[in-house]
Amino acid sequence: MIDTATLDYDFDEETLGFEEPPAQPTPPASWPERLSIAAVALGFLALIVTLLGPLSGTWAGILLSFGLIVLGSAAYFWFAYRNTVPGIKHDGIMFGSATHLGLIGWGLGIAITGFYVVLYWWPEYLERGVRLVDPLSHALAGGPADRWFFYGFLYTLAILVFGVRMFMKYRHNRYQIIRTASVMFFQLGFAFLIPQLLKSFNQPEFYFTYFWPLKYDYLFPSTVDSLTSHPGALGVFMVFWGAVATFIATPVLTYLYGKRWYCSWVCGCGGLAETLGDPFRQLSSKTTRSWRIERGIIYSVLIFITVTTIALWVNSATEGRVFGRLSGPLASAYGFYVGALFSGVIGVGFYPLMGSRVWCRFGCPMAAILGIFQRFFSRFRITTNGGQCMSCGNCSTYCEMGIDVRAYAQRGENIVRASCVGCGICSAVCPRGVLKLENGPTHADRYPGADQPLAALQEALSAAKVYEGKNGAAAPDPVDPALRSQRRPLRSQFTRRL
């Protein structure tokens, strides 16, 4: 007989769920941790004083405010993690107000979104902040700061401080350490110091780690004209560099290493997502529906920028005879809706709401191109270790790109997805050591059909059509769902497919 306690069990886990369990009080923070927090608090106080008072625009002002905040928070992360045994530290993530859509999370989301709105459309309210960093701008760029210098300064600090957090959190994982060091290096050097130094040498402000179509105007005729007409050879080199990066380096490096060479090692957007965004990576949606939306938007953005760029060139070559005045507004529209609203405001502002890769996942046209190469013409894959997966779902939970990694791992299949940025966190959090990022032969074991990428691409496109035309694969197949899935081995519905 089954015992009555079992028979009486009727808890509805679907609607009631499992909230935070009871706990004993957390031991008080150590003295170094408390001092670090005090330093951060003092820094913010100094920031307010500096904004209002006479210290504005002095080195003392910068050091007292940003210096204390940066050092204090980096020290806090250092000491807080130092007392733990190295390993995955995700206790309480799903109970945290900031990390699981609580009041703090929503507050942060609104605050960061608000900051970007002010930055783009009401910069006059940031004027005091911009003046604060004048001494640094004078030293680097040889002139007063503007809002973009101020923004770049904050952006770089965020990557550096939260990079320290990554170093400590993943100090048992050398892939994470090297990758984090890489994004910190490229942000500080190539996306902050070098562009400013170029200005001080009267050269164009140029970002050597941003390429078309992410930095969409780098292949616009106007930018090319202005760079090539700049005195000296550097401007021409910059045009050459940008073109080589887009048309040669991108396919070659993605073939060799996958999308990750850029998205999680070099790119500044990726750099911020991998550092400041790490506490929010679990908030990305893993549903098939969100995947469908993702593909719809990201490839639309890619088409948008490609059409716009071609139109601008045709217009420039024909002096406006073909498109008339269409291409200009097209470029402006892209700049406003995608460049500012999507990549800036939503891209970072929605970190605490939709995870750290909202822009990279749903919008970035560079990610779209890299993704197509990665999916069909690359050596990169995440290998699944035989039958060791026990479907726990840590990999899917912590995938910032919303890939349902488990859906593949539990079938013993390798993961080859266009959106994967190769951050390596799925491999790190897997409690059974099932996943490994690898560059290997493109054929045979990458995924079934990998040795015929063109056929696979065709298949994927036709499968997508079937899917969209039928109001989702949810439509019951009168013939045989099993056969259908055999017919379309690359169909995207992994979590739904048998």
Partner 1 sequence: MHVAIIGNGVTGVTAAIRLRRKQPDWRITLISGESKYHYSRPALMYVFMGHMTYQGTKPFEDDFWSINRLDLRRDWVTGIDAARKCLTLHRGGDFHFDKLLIATGSKSNKFGWPGQDLRGVQGLYSLQDLRSLYHNANGTRHAVIVGGGLIGIELAEMLHSRNIHVTFLVREPSYWSNILPMEESGMINEIIREQGIGLKLKTSLKEILDDGSGRVCGVVTEDGERLECQFVGLTAGVSPNIDLVRDSEIETGRGVLVDRGFQTSVQDIYAAGDCAEIVTGGERNLLQQVWYTGKKQGEVAGDVLAGEDRTYDPGIWYNSAKFLDLEYQVYGRVNLNVPGERNLFWRHPEQLQSLRIVYAEEGVIGVNLMGIRYRHDVCERWISEQRPVDFVLDNLAKANFDPEFFDRHESDIVPALREQMS
Interface with partner 1 in residues 426-485 (CB under 8 A): 427-428, 431-433, 436-438, 473-474, 476, 480-483
- What's the closest the beta carbon of residue 322 comes to partner 1, in angstroms? 48
Q: Are 381 and 256 in contact (CB under 8 A)?
A: no
Single residue of 319, 386, 454, 469 touching partner 1 by CB under 8 A: 386
* Stretch of 30-38, 57-65, 223-231, 285-293 contacting partner 1, by CB under 8 A: 285-293
* Stretch of 63-71, 87-95, 203-211, 214-222 contacting partner 1, by CB under 8 A: 87-95
> Does 296 contact partner 1 by CB under 8 A?
no
Rounded Cα distance between 428 and 175, Å, is 9
- What's the closest the beta carbon of residue 490 comes to partner 1, in angstroms? 18
**Residue type for position 393:** G
Single residue of 28, 174, 321, 325 touching partner 1 by CB under 8 A: 174
The alpha carbon of residue 422 and the mean position of all alpha carbons in its chain are separated, in whole angstroms, by 11
> Does 30 contact partner 1 by CB under 8 A?
no
- What's the closest the beta carbon of residue 87 comes to partner 1, in angstroms? 3
- What's the closest the beta carbon of residue 179 comes to partner 1, in angstroms? 9
Q: Which single residue is written with the structure tokens 């009041």?
A: 103
Phi, psi of 170, rounded to the nearest 5 degrees: -110, 40
Q: Output 202 or 391, the one with its CB closest to partner 1.
A: 391
Q: Output 9 or 31, the one with its CB closest to partner 1.
A: 9
Number of Cβ within a 10 Å radius of residue 82: 13
Q: How far is CA 340 from CA 34, 69, 108, 332, 350, in A?
A: 38, 28, 19, 11, 14
Q: Output 210 or 398, the one with its CB closest to partner 1.
A: 398
- What's the closest the beta carbon of residue 170 comes to partner 1, in angstroms? 11
Token couple for 23: 């706990």
> Does 241 contact partner 1 by CB under 8 A?
no
Which DSSP state fits 186?
I
Rounded Cα distance between 73 and 78, Å, is 9
Phi, psi of 10, rounded to the nearest 5 degrees: -140, 35
Token couple for 423: 């951050």
Is 438 strand, coil or helix?
strand
Q: Output 175 or 377, the one with its CB closest to partner 1.
A: 175
Single residue of 35, 136, 326, 392 touching partner 1 by CB under 8 A: 392
Rounded Cα distance between 73 and 448, Å, is 47
> Does 287 contact partner 1 by CB under 8 A?
yes
Single residue of 45, 52, 111, 178 touching partner 1 by CB under 8 A: 178
Q: How far is CA 211 from CA 89, 260, 267, 365, in A?
A: 35, 15, 10, 11
Question: ∠204-115-46 over CA atoms, to 5°?
Answer: 95
Q: Output 1 or 233, the one with its CB closest to partner 1.
A: 1
Which DSSP state fits 305?
H
> Does 124 contact partner 1 by CB under 8 A?
no
Single residue of 18, 229, 319, 469 touching partner 1 by CB under 8 A: 18
Pick out residues in 397-426 that bind partner 1 (CB under 8 A).
Answer: 397, 406-407, 410, 424
Q: Output 138 or 436, the one with its CB closest to partner 1.
A: 436
Cis preceding-peptide flag for 213 (omega within 30 of 0): yes
- What's the closest the beta carbon of residue 390 comes to partner 1, in angstroms? 5
Task: List alpha helices for 170-205, DSSP H.
Answer: 174-185, 194-200
* Stretch of 59-67, 103-111, 166-174, 327-335 contacting partner 1, by CB under 8 A: 166-174
Rounded Cα distance between 370 and 259, Å, is 5
Pick out residues in 88-117 that bind partner 1 (CB under 8 A).
Answer: 88, 90-96
* Stretch of 20-28, 45-53, 117-125, 129-137 contacting partner 1, by CB under 8 A: 20-28
Q: Which single residue is written with the structure tokens 């300064």?
A: 153
- What's the closest the beta carbon of residue 175 comes to partner 1, in angstroms? 5
* Stretch of 45-53, 149-157, 192-200, 282-290 contacting partner 1, by CB under 8 A: 282-290
Cis preceding-peptide flag for 431 (omega within 30 of 0): no
Q: Output 79 or 210, the one with its CB closest to partner 1.
A: 79
